[in-house]
Every structure is written in C-alpha cells, then in structure tokens.
Amino acid sequence: MRDFQPPHDPATDPPVGPKVDTTPRPLPARIPHKGRSVDLEPLHIRHVPDLWLAAQADQAEASWAYMGYGPFATEAALRSFVGQFATAHDPMVWAVRPHRTGTVDGWLALMEIFPGHAAIELGNIWFSPRMQRSRASTEAMYLLLRHAMDDLGYRRMTWKCNALNAPSRRAAGRLGFTYEGTLRAVLTIKGRRRDTAWFSILEGEWPARRDAIEAWLDDSNWDAAGRPKASLKINLASSERQE
C-alpha cells in the first residue's frame, strides 16, 4: 500500500489537519435494534441459557481462539462473565437474536468510545458457529455500524483484530473497512503475543458502504431457500486498498 498522505489545511504553514465539527457525539444507549433477519437486545444475564447452548455447537472452542475470554467450562462460569460484561459502559454489548432460530446466538459491542473525537469501535464480536457467515451476522454488525455513524454521527469507526485472525480480517474487508496497519506485539492475550491489525471507515466513506450492505440485505437479494442472489462486494478506492 502506498504511503498515506494525510489531509491538511492548505492555508496553514506548517501543515495541520482540516477543521472538523468538535461537537462531542452522544454515547450509545442501551436500546434494542431490529432488523430484517436479526434483533439486537442489550446483553443481560437472562440471555445466558441460550448463549450456553449456542456455545456447545461443533468447534465452539475454535470460535473463542482470538477472544480475550472463553471458552467457558460451565454455564455458571458463563453467567458470571455475562453478569459483569452486560453492565459495562465501554464496551456496551448487545445480544444477537436471529429470527431464523429465535434464540440468542452471540454478542457484539460498541467500544473504545471517544465522543470528543467522534471515534468508536465495533468489536468484541462472538458469534456461535451456527451463526457465522450468515445474513443475520452481517445485519447484526450493520445495525451497530448504522447506529454509530448515522444516528449518533461518529466520524470514525474502527475494527481491530488479532493479525492472525483471517476470518475477522475478511469480515472487515467485506464490510468496507480500510486496512490501516498492524501494531506489533501490542497485547498479551491468554499468555500469547498478539499483533493487532487495524481497520477503519470514515464518515465520508460510510454512505457507499451503507448502501452496498443495505442492497445485499434487502429481501429482493434473497431466494426462497435463504441464499443471496449476489455477493456483498464493496469496492475500495485504490488509495484505500488493503495489503
């Protein structure tokens, strides 16, 4: 990827960044979000029985490989974790209830919330194996992206993941996030070194991403068997392309 050239104010010397709206953005609220194929509910310990069953799916342990927590040995251990996780303000976590199953099959969060800088992150995403690579999983992420960028007016949405997490990197690209670089040995997770890959969507990029995702999610794109007629492809400008 070629060197990034930061925007600057041509009237200044030395160069500084362009002026932006400095109004602090609102904090996300614990409210539900409803979609065509999935509902998001503020995470609560009442969701634990469904989550415990979802975690028992085949290869469930693999789905926790890049998370900072899990897998959980018992339902009681999961309940203890969710009890604390659900009451945090950052991250703010939603349970994911696909319409197809009617059960809670995962969670995701808005986090690293900086209202004064209009920056926020979509993260802490755990979807059970039966929910991964589904319409519901894409829509769950879209609902929080739309809430942060459109409803709350954030200027920058980030996505971070373990640099070895190929599925997460693919998901970021599929949603239209731009790769920004990798921080080396930045964290220690479960006793192991973690290099972190960073991605972002900025406010000027979001409308095209939003329109592409909405078109893919639209009922007209789905056949009677529940398969998409067209794939989700978001063309990044050449200056934004990933590695």
- Which CATH architecture group holds 33-234? 3-Layer(aba) Sandwich (3.40)
Domain ranges in the chain are 33-234
Mean pLDDT score across all residues of the chain: 93
* Contact criterion met (CB below 8 Å) for 210 and 237: no
Nearest to 59 by CA among 165, 130, 139: 130
Q: Name the pTM for this structure.
A: 0.94
pLDDT tens digit string along 145-189? 999 999 999 999 999 999 999 999 999 999 999 999 999 999 999
Q: How far apart are CA 182 and CA 220, in angstroms?
A: 38
Nearest to 129 by CA among 197, 39, 64, 210: 64
Listed in sequence order, the DSSP H helices in 48-160 are 48-54, 75-85, 135-146
Q: Is the pLDDT of residue 237 over 70?
A: no
Separation in Å, CA 210 to CA 18, 68, 89, 223: 25, 29, 26, 22
Percent of the chain with pLDDT over 70: 96
Query: What pLDDT shows up at residue 241?
Result: 43
Query: What pLDDT shows up at residue 2?
Result: 60
SS3 161: strand
